[in-house]
Amino acid sequence: MNFRSAYLDSLENGSLQAKIEKAEACLSNCKLCPRQCGVNRLEGQTGFCKTGRQAMVSSYGPHHGEEKPLVGRHGSGTIFLARCNLLCIFCQNYEISHLGEGQPVSTGQLADIMLELQDYGCHNINFVTPSHVVPQIMAAVKIAAENGLMVPLIYNTGGYDTVDTINMLDGVIDIYMPDFKFWNPGVAEQLCNAANYPSVARDAIVAMHSQVGDLLINEDGIALHGLLVRHLVLPDNLAGTEPVMEFLANKISRNTYVNVMSQYRPCGDAIQVEALSRSIEQKEYRQALEFARKAGLQRLDRPRRVFLFW
């Protein structure tokens, strides 16, 4: 199966540079994400995400705990970006997202990380929590592509993304991998101070799918292009799994590749909410899978027997 990453065409036709300039201009009055902080990050001001001009990287390397089509033999080239625009109270990467564990990197350094992961043999470059550093990522992709980067790019997001920002990424990102975390606005307000999360996530996922379509997997079982949606099952059905699955099946595609995740456990500040003080039960996970199948979704990632740090 012949495949060429989207950003290579954008580099070749000159549109990538125009996209970078548009994205970087947004940093002077930052409204990249739905928080709409309006701070001048070019001058070092920070808003909700506490991130100024430079992106911060916590760690990077080949990751073998991601979804099956991303891992292959050599792993997904995962780059854990520090800070977050959502800050769920139960985050399993709390030290990275809430506490900002990581180091600032220049555009060139971020490009070098991508090339290093490709040289290792990783099947893709997987940007974890990228919503607040889209301009920095795009600029680094251009440098990396000019120096031989060829593998697919994954936008691994919490789903709290504006359609405008997703549109800027058209022709850059090959695989969108959003969470759809919560269906109920009240739950979203309680768990991440974002009552508009459900509507924002719905609009963002529609925009993502309109760009890349259903997940395309090659003859070796490796994802090349398309949409993959994650949904973390929460205790007491706080995530609203049934309507989430119905939305994906009826408003996106019944061919949507979905990872219904079972690995919730209390992390971060989860104990602030009584229902989140325990892991989910097997019957809750089985019910979540039944909701997915009942909605008509057939492409479900195989369950893991180990916890993924997410």
54: domain CATH number? 3.20.20.70
User: Does a structural domain hold residue 303?
Assistant: no
Average pLDDT along the chain: 96
- 100-136 residue pLDDT tens: 999 999 999 999 999 999 999 999 999 999 999 999 9
Indicate the pLDDT class of residue 303, thresholds 50, 70 and 90. low
Q: 36 lies in a domain?
A: yes
Dihedral angle sign, alpha carbons of residues 64, 288, 231, 234: negative
Which residues span the domain enclosing 132?
A: 6-295
Give 303 or 215, the one with higher predicted confidence: 215
Residue 309: is its pLDDT beyond 70? no
Q: Is the pLDDT of residue 310 over 90?
A: no
pLDDT at residue number 268: 95
Give Dmax (Cα) for the chain: 54
Is residue 2 pLDDT above 90, yes or no?
A: no
In a domain, 306, yes or no: no
Note whether residue 58 is domain-resident.
Answer: yes
Dist. CA 248–CA 297, nearest whole Å: 8
Q: What is the pLDDT of residues 24-74, one digit of tens each?
A: 999 999 999 999 999 999 999 999 999 999 999 999 999 999 999 999 999
34 Rama sector, left if φ>0, alpha if ψ -120 to 50, beta otherwise: alpha
| Cα 204–chain centre separation | 11
**Residue range 255-267, pLDDT digits in tens:** 999 999 999 999 9
Residue 302 domain-assigned?
no
Average pLDDT over residues 271-282: 95
Query: 244 in a domain, yes or no?
Result: yes
Domain count across the chain: 1
Is residue 143 situated within a structural domain? Answer: yes
Q: What would the mean pLDDT of 293-298 be, rounded to a whole number?
A: 97
Domain for residue 153, yes or no? yes
**What confidence score (pLDDT) does residue 304 get?**
52
Query: Hey, what are 305's tokens?
Result: 């027997």
Give the pLDDT of residue 267: 96
Which pairs with CB-CB distance under 8 Å and at least 24 residues apart come from 102-108?
102/56, 102/57, 102/58, 102/59, 103/56, 103/57, 103/58, 104/54, 104/55, 104/56, 105/54, 105/55, 105/56, 105/57, 106/54, 107/136, 107/139, 107/140, 107/143, 108/140, 108/143
